[in-house]
């Protein structure tokens, strides 16, 4: 059941370009029976590996703006590093509640689409604003294992006037940087992850990548907008169940 769920996580990534980390943690907690702190570490690996695969593909297409986001990416790493340090300093109940509340917020962004969210943000330039936003997004990556793509993509469009393809591609660079910093912050405990999670860990970590590769072959044939709305509704219901469980 856990392996099938991991495959569906990958399909979500491949078909609509997101939702993976939001689905990983509930799956690991309520199906796999892992504590949320361990689920966050496993999700960070899923986020890192799947983002690296996507980043390589986009880099070959010349869509990644490395120079423009170098400083914001570094600031995001700082947030991710210290966010990861707090994982074991707060209770499991607090982490689950915070994660659930963020899922509700994310579900609204997905349902009303990124473009509507961008319009509400308003177009305002300023590298320092993006830097502050990236520190916050990195902090969420470190603390909760969220990739942050749902916030990074609109932010890059607002602050750099990137096209959607450029924003998605460049956001993966920042996700890779944030998740790497969070994993580094966890230090030696990441090497003990296999012992704590058991032999099924690498199967779970790798299955989303396989699912993403399969999903990417069909994403041009499906209605991504409708799928995002379905995903948003599912995430909203999932968040309520987690919050009031």
Q: How far is it, in rounded angstroms, from Cα 159 to Cα 161?
A: 6
Average pLDDT over residues 113-124: 56
Rounded to the nearest integer, the mean pLDDT of the chain is 79
pLDDT digits (tens, 9 = 90+) for 203-218: 777 777 777 677 666 6
Query: Which of the four pLDDT bands, split at 50, 70 and 90, describes residue 191?
Result: low
How does DSSP classify residue 17?
S
User: How many CB atoms are located within 10 Å of the residue 70 CB?
Assistant: 12
Which 8-state DSSP code applies to residue 107? H
Q: Total structural domains in the chain? A: 1
Record the pTM.
0.84
Q: Which domain holds residue 170?
A: 2-243
Whether 77 has a pLDDT exceeding 70, the answer reads: yes
Is 65 in contact with 170 (CB distance < 8 Å)?
yes
Q: For residue 245, what pLDDT band results from cuts at 50, 70 and 90?
A: confident
Closest to 206 measured CA to CA, from 73, 26, 52: 52
Residue 227 has pLDDT above 90, yes or no: no
Give me the helices (H) in 61-146, please: 70-85, 92-121, 127-144
CA gyration radius, the chain: 17
Quick one: average pLDDT of 192-211? Answer: 69
């Amino acid at each position: 059941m856990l392996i099938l769920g991991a495959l569906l996580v990958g399909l979500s990534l491949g078909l609509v370009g997101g939702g993976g980390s939001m689905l990983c943690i509930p799956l690991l907690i309520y199906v796999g029976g892992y504590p949320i702190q361990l689920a966050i570490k496993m999700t960070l690996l899923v986020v890192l590996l799947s983002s690296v695969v996507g980043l390589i593909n986009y880099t070959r297409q010349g869509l990644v703006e490395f120079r423009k986001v170098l400083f914001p990416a570094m600031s995001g790493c700082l947030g991710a590093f210290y966010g990861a340090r707090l994982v074991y300093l707060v209770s499991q109940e607090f982490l689950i509640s915070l994660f659930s509340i963020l899922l509700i917020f994310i579900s609204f962004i997905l349902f009303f689409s990124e473009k509507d969210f961008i319009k509400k943000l308003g177009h305002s330039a300023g590298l320092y604003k993006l830097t502050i936003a990236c520190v916050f997004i990195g902090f969420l990556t470190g603390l909760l294992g969220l990739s942050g793509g749902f916030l990074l993509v609109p932010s890059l469009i607002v602050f750099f006037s990137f096209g959607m393809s450029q924003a998605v591609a460049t956001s993966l660079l920042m996700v890779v940087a944030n998740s790497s910093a969070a994993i580094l912050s966890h230090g030696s405990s990441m090497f003990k992850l296999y012992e704590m999670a058991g032999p099924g860990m690498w199967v779970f970590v790798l299955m989303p990548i396989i699912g993403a590769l399969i999903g990417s072959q069909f994403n041009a044939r499906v209605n991504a907008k409708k799928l995002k709305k379905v995903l948003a509704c599912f995430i909203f219901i999932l968040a309520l169940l987690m919050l009031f469980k």
